[in-house]
Each structure stands twice: as C-alpha cells, then as structure tokens.
Chains A and B, each alone.
Chain A
C-alpha cells in the first residue's frame, strides 16, 4: 500500500463515510444497503454523496425492515458481494437480531466453511445525546456473545476509518458500532486514501504506572477525563482503548495490569452481563497474582436509559475516579 501523508481534519461521521467511499472505489463488490442511505445520505449523513457516485445498485435504499436488511445483506455476501448494512440506530436492530444470531453468525460454522458472509453491520449506538429509551442503548455484549461475529467499536475518527476499512475487507461478519455521542464532537487528523487499523489490537492511549483503565467508544473519553483528574491528585493511570471486543487484545491488557497492579473497566452498557465482566474475569484468571486491589467495573446502571435522567444513568468521570481510588486504596 502506498504511504499516504496528506491528512484532513474529520469528524467520525466523515471518517466513516470516507472509509466506505474509499473501499467502494477500490472494490466494485462493496455495496451499501439500509434505510435512507440513498439520496438522503443516511440520517446522520454517513453515506452522503455515495448514491450520486455509485448509483442504486451499490447504494441501496431498502424497505423499513431490519430483518430484511440483514438477511438480504447476508445473501448478497454469500453470492460475491461485500455489503455494508446500515442500521439507522442500533436500538432498531432487534427485529433482525435472529438474522445475526441464527444466520449470519452461524452459516460458516454450520456449513463447515462452505459458505461465508464477509459483511459489515454498522450503525450509531450509545447514549449521551438525550435520545431516550430507544435511541441510546449500548447492547454490544449481545453481539460479542455470539460466536461467528466480530465486534469493533472506534473511539475517534482515525480509528473509525481504518477499522471500518479492515471490517469491510474481513472475511467474517463484523458488527461495527459507532458511538454517536462523539460522531461530531471529536475530530482528528485522518489520512486521505485507504489505510487499515487492525481488528483485535488495543491501543494504550495514555501511559501510566498506578492503575489501568480499560474502555472503548465514547466512554474512552470519559475515562481520559477521569485520568486527568487523577493526575491532578498525583495518581498516574494508564488508559487502554480496547477498539475491538471480538477478538479482544488480552495481551495489551495483561501487560498493563501486570505493571500497574490495579484494573478498572469502564463500559457504557448496564453492568449486569456487560463486557466489563469478560475483561474483569480475564484479568482475574490470567493475572490475579499481580493485583493489589479489586478489579473495578464502572458501567451504566441496570435500568433502561431514560430521556430526562440520562446523567444519572451513564458513567461519568466522578464514578471512574471513585472506583479507581477504591482499588488504589484497597
């Protein structure tokens, strides 16, 4: 791949759009389908202008049916295309959940590799935008638990573009969740042209020695805010952006925890059954002898997500600071 040096300052929405644009230009089998993805450009404008460039056979406006979108995308993937299926809000995916759970995730296994579905299921997820019960949820563990799916969550525009390109090129179905709370609020320099960020590699975004904060998506930024506050109190914490949940980068987590002796996992989903549990259990199994305090989980509360009281539902820097101090002072 040619080394690209030119960059642009982009939002995550723009980075997501660029990833699809680049791949569609490079590979004629890449296509997009979903609700309002055509001339409308998607309700968040992630597909803006793509219909005009690639036409109705490659940017396909579908009837309003998530089961239809996911199931037909699966068939397209089986028959030589690389579809990117947009789900308008991940909260709306569940009429099509069986297509993910029973079909897309299992066809390779149940056919012993005879059929494969290289496809991406992408869409905005998460709270912090006053979206209420059905435009705010973080159901990533409901995808991560299904063998056969990969699950990727970027925290910034650079990773979003590189990870989405990796997802489109992947031979397996990838659920690509975009934290809409930072769709436009976080901007980074993004290279022009196609480049990849590997799926399954975490990133140490802040180095530290006292404790390890593991997070992903919009919560990564809340964890960084907490790290700043802890630094002001003389506590030097390391922050890891997981980036991929399936597969997840256990080695990077272990290397950090063995160094710091303390782990705090921050997720936006309700705590019970959340992905924080997987990471916590992994650390406990592999590195308990290095721990100097309990592994802490900071998550949303175990309720639905309210429109008006959202601030009490979501993890904030206060809760992360408190949890970190609890393990540090154990």
Chain B
C-alpha cells in the first residue's frame, strides 16, 4: 500500500499542536467516537497511575514506574490492535495494557501483588501481563523481550494466523545487543512486528545524547532494511494513525516497522529513583504544562465541537467510579496461597521441588 506518511523525517509526524489545533493537512481517519475513546483511555490511565502512586506513598506498594506523560504513545499505539494480536510490554506500559483490555481491578491488583493480577503478583509492580489478551508478562531486563516479539510474529507467518506483534521498548533498549538481533531478524524474516519505541528521553538518568549519536532512533530502522517513523508521542491522534498504518502493513505482509514516539515521563524512572539529580524541575514543568497529551486532546476535542464541560464532568465521575471499583476488587483479592510459590516453574513439580515443598510446608 502507498505509505500515507514519510519515514525518517527530521521532525515528528503530528496531527495537532500543543493548543489542540490541527497542524496536518490530513484529517484523522478515526471516527469522532474513536477519538473520544482515545481521550477517555488516557484520562483513565492517568487516574489508575495516580492511584498506584498514592499506594506507593501509603506504603502499600513497594514499587511503581509511573506512566504519566506517556499515555498518548502507549494508548495510540495499542488502540487498533485486534484481540488476537500480541503485545510485549516493558516496565511502564500501563496504557498499553489498559487499551488491550486489562481491567482497572487487574491492574491495581498487580500493583498490590494480589491474586486478581493475571500474573499472580510474581513480578514487581509495573510489569503488566495477561495470557488471554496476549499481553506478555515482561522481565525487567532491558531490551531482551524484543527477540521473542519477533519470534511470535514469525510463528504468526508460519501458522498463517494473521496476528501482529507489537513490541514496546525505550530509548535505552536500543543500545542492547538483543534489540539489534531482534531488529535484524525482523527484517530478514519480514516479520509482522511493530516496534513501538517510546523515547521518553531518559534511561534512568542517561539522556538521549549519551545513548546514541544517531540523529533519531527511528533512523536505526534503515540499517535493518525497513522504515522508521518519528512521531509526536504526545499527540494521540498521530500515535494512533501511524500505528494503525504500521500494524495493518505488517498484517498484510508488508513486514516490520519501527516507530519512535517522542515523549516524556513526568515522574522519576521509578519510585526508587531521585530524578532531581539529573534533570531540572523547569524541564518537567514545560512538558507537563504545555505539551501534556491529555490536555492537548481535550483542547482538540473541545475546539472541534466534540466535547464540553458537561461531557467532561460526566466522564470524570465515571472514571472516578471505575477506579474505586477496581481498587475495591484489588483490595478484596487475596494474596496467592503460600503453597503456590512452587507452581509454574515447570508444567509439573519436579522431584527435587517436591522434596523442597515437603521440607517447607510439610506436605507435597
């Protein structure tokens, strides 16, 4: 198909500016309802993220990697995936997990390490996963999920399932060898995979200038023989439009795409990080106050006559309720039973594990 976007551009592809005015000649291809849903998902994501942060401050959760600021790139990229498609997250993809279908209750149960978390609290918080939705519970090792994301896509081709694999990574992951191996395999096997690279401009404290000498991260795709697109990662319409194009291109046999979403995280790397050591408050405030993805979409919808104060008030009330219900579900969910600590190392317990189980619990 003819590409509606130009790869390897100097400046990010965008549809709306910081004031919510259209900057692209192209009109969004999404319906008004879809645009409103994108907005709603971002607000809901922020609300769940805020709730997680409160739980860390209360001492009820031991860790959180906040998503705030990156809602557009995550929700826009995952918005047009089919149920059967795969998502490989890293440790911050609350928005992607929510968009693919995880519930506020599951997401908050994950933060609390409860049974309602589909991964049963095995991972530290912010590592969202769900089997039925093909959201792969991630490891914490940066860059090493990418080869499996390509393998899933290769299997989709071999088995003719029509699935696409969406693989998230950060700017830091581009320096890892496994990522380069994955990009290379994706190109060689023309795998139906989309690499969603959220450039939030920091790998903990290391800024992009210390991560790469490349002009953009999108440029790196050229070395592997496929297109890379630089997208305004705080413009949810641009994120969703370019992602839809790349996903459908992959699905129709057009091979992989790398999308760099230029964005920014408001919080520190995680609740264990002190970002005042490496960036200025003014920089954070600049992004938060003038480039916020939720604010921009709110302005756009309002100016387009699709949104008003009454709609906003109604939605906010609904979201408050949804998060409260989710939190109640998460809190009511038990911590997994002690004996389950052995489960799922293998399909069945091995003899030496049975010995250990008897030693610890007094029974097999």
Which A residues lie at the B interface, using CB under 8 A?
Answer: 31, 57-58, 60, 62-63, 65, 67-68, 70-81, 83, 95, 98-99, 102-103, 106-116, 147-148, 150, 170-172, 200, 246-248, 250
Contact = CB atoms under 8 A, between A and B. Distances in A.
A75 B154 contact: yes
A72 B119 contact: no
B310 to A, nearest CB: 42
Contact of B152 (A63, A78, A109, A171): A78
A178 to B, nearest CB: 22
A150 B346 contact: yes
B155 A115 contact: no
Given A63-B188, A68-B182, A172-B347, A74 B130 contact: no
Given A68-B182, A68-B184, A80 B344 contact: no
A72 B148 contact: yes
B74 interface: no
Nearest to A81: B155
Contacts of A115: 129, 131, 136-137
B122 A247 contact: no
Contacts of A65: 181, 184-185
A62 B344 CA distance: 31
B345 interface: yes
Contacts of B129: 110-111, 114-115
B178 A71 contact: yes
A58 B119 CA distance: 32
B346 A103 contact: no
Interface stretch (B20-28, B46-54, B139-147, B245-253): B139-147
A148 B139 CA distance: 14
B141 A148 contact: no
A103 B144 contact: yes
A75 B153 contact: yes
17 contacts: A57-B157, A60-B154, A67-B147, A68-B150, A68-B181, A72-B150, A78-B155, A81-B155, A81-B159, A83-B151, A98-B178, A103-B139, A108-B345, A109-B122, A111-B137, A247-B350, A250-B351
A247 B181 CA distance: 32
A106 B188 contact: no
B144 A71 contact: yes
A111 B119 contact: yes
B155 A76 contact: yes
A155 to B, nearest CB: 21
A200 B155 contact: no
Contacts of B161: 79-80
A274 B137 CA distance: 33
Interface string B16-48: 000000000000000000000000000000000
Contact of A108 (B86, B148, B344): B344
A67 B86 contact: no
Given A109-B122, A110-B137, A112-B120, A79 B182 contact: no
B148 A67 contact: no
Contacts of A73: 151
B101 interface: no
Contacts of A107: 136-137
Give the residue among B132, B157, B352 with the most A Cβ atoms within 10 A.
Answer: B352
A114 B150 contact: no
B123 interface: yes
Contact of A70 (B147, B177, B351): B147
A102 B151 contact: no
B2 interface: no
Contact of A68 (B130, B185, B345): B185
Given A75-B150, A115-B137, 15 more contacts: A71-B178, A72-B150, A72-B151, A73-B151, A78-B136, A79-B155, A103-B144, A107-B136, A108-B347, A110-B139, A111-B136, A115-B131, A170-B347, A247-B350, A248-B352
Nearest to A71: B147
Nearest to B193: A75
Given A63-B184, A68-B181, A72-B185, A113 B148 contact: no
Given A72-B148, A74-B148, A115-B131, A102 B346 contact: no
A71 B137 CA distance: 15
